[in-house]
Amino acid sequence: MNQREKSPAEKTKLRASLLAKQSFPWVVPIALLIIWQWASSAGILPSRFLPSPRAVVSSFIQLSASGELWMHVRVSTLRALSGFVIGGGIGLLLGLLTASMYWAEILLDTTIQMVRNIPPLALIPLVILWFGIDESAKLFLVALGVFFPVYINTFHGIRSVDRGLLEMGRTYGLSGWPLYREIILPGALPSILVGVRFSLGLMWVILIVAETISARSGIGYMTMNAREFMQTDVMVVGILLYAILGKLADLLAKGLERYWLRWNPAYQTAQ
Residues contributing to the site for other proteins (CB under 8 A): 164-165, 167-175, 178, 182-183, 186-187, 189, 261-265
Distance CA 235, CA 66 (A): 17
Q: Are 139 and 82 in contact (CB under 8 A)?
A: yes
User: CA–CA separation, 78 vs 80, rounded Å?
Assistant: 5
DSSP 7: P
Q: Which residues contact 228 (CB under 8 A, 6 or more apart)?
A: none
Nearer to other proteins, 104 or 174 (CB): 174
By beta-carbon proximity to other proteins, the closer residue of 29 and 173 is 173
Give whichever of 68 and 182 is closer to other proteins, judged by the CB atom. 182
Q: Whole-number minimum distance, CB 104 to other proteins, in Å? A: 21
The letter for the amino acid at 19 is L
Of 183 and 226, the one with the shorter C-beta distance to other proteins is: 183
Count CA within 13 A, CB hemisphere, residue 259.
6
Radius of gyration in angstroms for the set of CA atoms belonging to the chain, rounded to a whole number:
24
Nearer to other proteins, 116 or 159 (CB): 159
At its nearest, how many Å lie between other proteins and the CB of residue 169?
8
The residue (of 109 and 182) whose beta carbon lies closer to other proteins is 182
The least distance separating other proteins from the CB of residue 186, rounded to whole angstroms, comes to: 4
CA-CA distance, 227 to 229, in Å (whole number)?
A: 5
Least distance in Å: CB of 164 to other proteins? 5
Closest approach, Cβ 162 to other proteins, in A, equals 8
Phi-psi group of 99: left, alpha or beta (phi > 0 → left; psi -120 to 50 → alpha; rest → beta): alpha
Least spacing, CB of residue 137 vs other proteins, in Å: 40
Comparing CA positions, the residue from 91, 3, 51 lying closest to residue 238 is: 51
Using alpha carbons only, give the angle 56, 60, 61 rounded to the nearest 5 degrees.
Answer: 120
